[in-house]
Chains A and B, each alone.
Chain A
Amino acid sequence: GQQLNQSPQSMFIQEGEDVSMNCTSSSIFNTWLWYKQEPGEGPVLLIALYKAGELTSNGRLTAQFGITRKDSFLNISASIPSDVGIYFCAGLRDSGYALNFGKGTSLLVTP
């Protein structure tokens, strides 16, 4: 399956800073998802996006579904140490069920 292009590959920031990461694809998806994975665990859903241009927030997290339906970004405001983990974008096509994941953005937050 296709893997989406995610950037940056890793980020090392101080507590309190804002973070932005994005994901692009060569093809269209009808649903964009953002997952977080911590060591030894499976990915956990953070945000789901359904419409081009949609902007959705979940606490300190904000994500947008790109107008072309080929990209999405995730912002984390006022980062805290428990934000540490790997963040994956994933695309889903209509009537599809196989999630197409990016390679992930590894986030490290220092106190």
Chain B
Amino acid sequence: GAGVSQTPSNKVTEKGKYVELRCDPISGHTALYWYRQSLGQGPEFLIYFQGTGAADDSGLPNDRFFAVRPEGSVSTLKIQRTERGDSAVYLCASSFLPSGRAPYNEQFFGPGTRLTVL
């Protein structure tokens, strides 16, 4: 079956440019999450959507980062004025319901977009 898909799989850009990363969640999943994984680290939470609204964007590192999910399905993570420190793998995950209560509503991860800022 179709899992979470992310495009592009790789993105190389120059410092100062704008980039958009796309996530297609599993059909019917209401909750969507973005994480960032730096080399040698575990994923770190960026933002969580319930439906169309960003329920928690406390993990976004600064105001250069923004994400949308206008129709409650596909989401786009947008990074303005990219910096070399933004280089990482950006992972998207989705779950049928929010993961907060036991039993755990599993977050299914996509393969990620590897962003390299030169």
CA distance A101 to B44 in the complex (A): 7
CA distance A98 to B46 in the complex (A): 8
Of B11-19, B64-72, B102-110, the one touching chain A: B102-110
Contact size class for B? 20 to 34
Residue B43 is within 8 A (CB to CB) of chain A in the complex: yes
List, in ascending order, chain A residues with CB within 8 A of B85's CB: none
Known contacts A42-B93, A45-B106, A95-B101, A104 near B42 by CB under 8 Å: yes
Binding site for A on B (CB under 8 A): 4, 31, 33, 35, 40-45, 48, 55-56, 59, 91, 93, 98-104, 106-107, 109-112
> Cβ of B59 and Cβ of A98 under 8 Å apart?
yes
List, in ascending order, chain A residues with CB within 8 A of B93's CB: 42
- If over half of A's interface residues share one DSSP class (helix, strand or loop), that class is named, otherwise mixed; here it is loop
> Cβ of B109 and Cβ of A43 under 8 Å apart?
yes
Interface string of A1-42 (1 = CB under 8 A from B): 101101000000000000000000000001101000000111
The count of A-to-B residue pairs whose CB atoms sit within 8 angstroms is 78
Residue A48 is within 8 A (CB to CB) of chain B in the complex: yes
> Cβ of B102 and Cβ of A97 under 8 Å apart?
no
CA distance A99 to B48 in the complex (A): 11
> Cβ of A103 and Cβ of B42 under 8 Å apart?
yes
Q: Closest B-chain residue to A44, C-beta based?
A: B109
Q: Closest A-chain residue to B105, C-beta based?
A: A97
Which of A56-111 touch B at CB < 8 Å?
A: 88, 90, 92-104
Q: Closest B-chain residue to A6, C-beta based?
A: B42
